[in-house]
């Protein structure tokens, strides 16, 4: 009779992560979303409890989204990208 072999570390179950407990419709880190309560577009930087941490696309101070979020539309994404490029060409920091 042979002894059972141990599973390699790479195949062992990983501990639950912060995003495992989030609802399925929660945006993932890196997604560009529209914060309807703040009326701003932002990139998801993380999740803390019930809040989603967002940062403006061109950088800047993070804020906690308290209201509903939705994915940014193509037009909103392009507009945000153009605003960042224009500010950079003027030498401004958004």
- Residue the block writes with tokens 């490029």: 85
Q: With residue 41 as reference, give the H or E element that holds it.
A: strand 40-48
Classify residue 8: in a domain, yes or no: no
> The whole model's pTM is what?
0.70
Structure tokens at 34: 């529209």
Q: What is the pLDDT of residues 31-51, one digit of tens each?
A: 999 999 999 999 999 999 889
Q: Please give the Cα distance from 63 to 93 (Å, whole number).
A: 18
Classify residue 77: in a domain, yes or no: yes
Classify residue 11: in a domain, yes or no: no
Residues of the chain with pLDDT under 50: 14-15, 19
Please tell me the total count of domains within the chain. 1
Q: With residue 35 as reference, give the H or E element that holds it.
A: strand 32-35
Classify residue 81: in a domain, yes or no: yes
Domain holding 59, by residue range, is 27-89
- Residue the block writes with tokens 């101070």: 61
Classify residue 44: in a domain, yes or no: yes
- The reported pLDDT for the residue numbered 58 is 85
């Amino acid at each position: 009779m042979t002894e059972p072999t141990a599973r390699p570390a790479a195949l062992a179950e990983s501990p639950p992560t912060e995003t495992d407990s989030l609802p399925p419709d929660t945006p993932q880190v890196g997604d560009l979303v529209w914060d309807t309560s703040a009326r701003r577009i932002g990139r998801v930087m993380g999740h803390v409890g019930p809040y989603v941490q967002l940062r403006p696309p061109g950088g800047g101070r993070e804020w906690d989204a308290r209201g509903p979020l939705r994915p940014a539309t193509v037009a909103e994404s392009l507009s945000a990208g153009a605003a960042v490029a224009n500010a950079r060409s003027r030498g401004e920091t958004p």
